[in-house]
Structure 1
């Protein structure tokens, strides 16, 4: 997100996060923080509307209301917890997964209520091969937001590593209907079994964000089935896509981290 632009902020309240599309570098993440847990049952977010949203990912919002939280709670811990989440996300984007987890855990120590919303922590746990803890984290997230398709899929991915694909599918967390066509198809593929190549083909001529997500989740599906070459093909394609190269979406960073953790080259 360009730092020399004038950003117009607007406050929005809802159960899930969604997307805006920008073109920063891989490590420029200081303005993309999410998941501030408010005293109510809903997370409160200040959205930085820099460009029109593409309504795909829910991972690009900044919890900048810690002052309000402090006024209500009389303490600084929630503000410090948000700062720890911000540091953890930046570290993850830079490829330092272990230290990102340390920051997310620090956030939970400072404000235990954050744990139920820290999907970022679940992603770090996955890339540290701590699959049981990762599955627990994603199950907590889905309990708070029963319409979250991606957390359901990531729980499956963790449990597939622990128990195999068939058992993970028996444990699959069913969630509500995702408004994003690509994620509806990805969800059905993970839940019922399917063909990742068909998913990619269905969105190859659509929006750049849809092609990215189709490629990413096709690769992750292959990884769950231990098909390393096919997983590499699709996740590298996600990194090399227009959205993968230009978006500030946390999942675009994740695709690069995935390749780095597996020593896959994704430069064109």
Structure 2
């Protein structure tokens, strides 16, 4: 899920200013004026890829050496590449290695949370996404992914009780997706609402509708919407990373013997399919959107 990006902007909580703030005296007649409230403001997003280098730079300065942070950044890149190739377990090993070399990076490793999700390590995945949101309290995507992990653990109703609330996203489609996961609703309405929108809105609405159905364990509808996202103009662009780790039945059963081999279906799409030349729709029953790598 052009670089991956997150929204970095102030919390949207309204603040009341105390009487007489700024040294202004109140009139002696009439009731006191109601304190003004600040409306939530959606701000532009900041590239997520800037967070890790920035954190690493600060850690280098504090620790007096760039070796650990630089090596950790390389491990993160290797982990991303291994995930891209379908080696989710290998990607986890690299992400954990990065944390060993530079512990300060853990709170930014949303990639690790995605790997944990697809390894069915949902409790650890939820913990990772919660760390990410604690570091960036306006991260809509990670709030949703945390819910996806916890829905697998506790069910939708319980997961919704502890839903991570974040700041107002500047993207209308992500605001609607966020409310769908947070409060419930009809994912078909999300898709319909943005069917005439930009290529990105068409893509994201289909993707998150599919992920919502996955949280409800409706594999057929999840597959339908996620494949539609893959086949959209935005989804098939070279800038978008969408990957399938293995067929759904093998993910669900834990059987690794039927793991799909990484064969190109469409290089720009970045979808991994089985080596028998199967159509995309036969291999995309579980697809992972990994933000946007460049």
Per-residue deviation, residues 12-32 of structure 1 (Å, max 9, x unmatched) = xxxxxxx92xxxxxxxxxxx6
User: Structure 2 stretches of 5 or more lacking a match?
Assistant: 7-43, 249-259, 261-272, 274-278, 283-294
* 3-state SS of paired residue (1:104): helix
Counterpart check, 1:73 vs 2:63 = yes
Shift of 1:56: 7.9
Q: CA RMSD in A?
A: 2.7
- Looking at structure 2, the residues matched to 216 and 59 of structure 1 have their Cα atoms a distance apart, in angstroms, of 20
- Looking at structure 1, the residues matched to 45 and 239 of structure 2 have their Cα atoms a distance apart, in angstroms, of 12
Q: How high is the TM-score relative to the length of structure 1?
A: 0.72
Q: Map residues 42-61 of structure 1 onto 2, 5 A cutoff.
A: 58-59=47-48
Shift of 1:201: 1.1
Task: Please say which of residues 77-86 and 62-71 is displaced more in the overlay.
Answer: 62-71
Counterpart check, 1:129 vs 2:120 = yes
Q: Map residues 9-20 of structure 1 onto 2, 5 A cutoff.
A: 20=2
* 3-state SS of paired residue (2:185): coil
1:95 pairs, out of 77, 80, 86, with 86
Larger Rg: 2
- Looking at structure 2, the residues matched to 120 and 222 of structure 1 have their Cα atoms a distance apart, in angstroms, of 22
Partner of 1:139: 130
* 3-state SS of paired residue (1:242): coil
Counterpart check, 1:117 vs 2:108 = yes
- Looking at structure 1, the residues matched to 162 and 51 of structure 2 have their Cα atoms a distance apart, in angstroms, of 33
* 3-state SS of paired residue (1:176): coil
* 3-state SS of paired residue (2:235): helix
Is the 1:56–1:210 contact (alpha carbons within 8 Å) kept by the matching residues of 2? no
Partner of 1:240: 231
User: Structure 1 stretches of 5 or more lacking a match?
Assistant: 1-18, 21-31, 36-54
Per-residue deviation, residues 155-203 of structure 1 (Å, max 9, x unmatched) = 0000000000000011101111000100000000000001111111111
Partner of 2:280: 266
- Looking at structure 2, the residues matched to 215 and 120 of structure 1 have their Cα atoms a distance apart, in angstroms, of 21
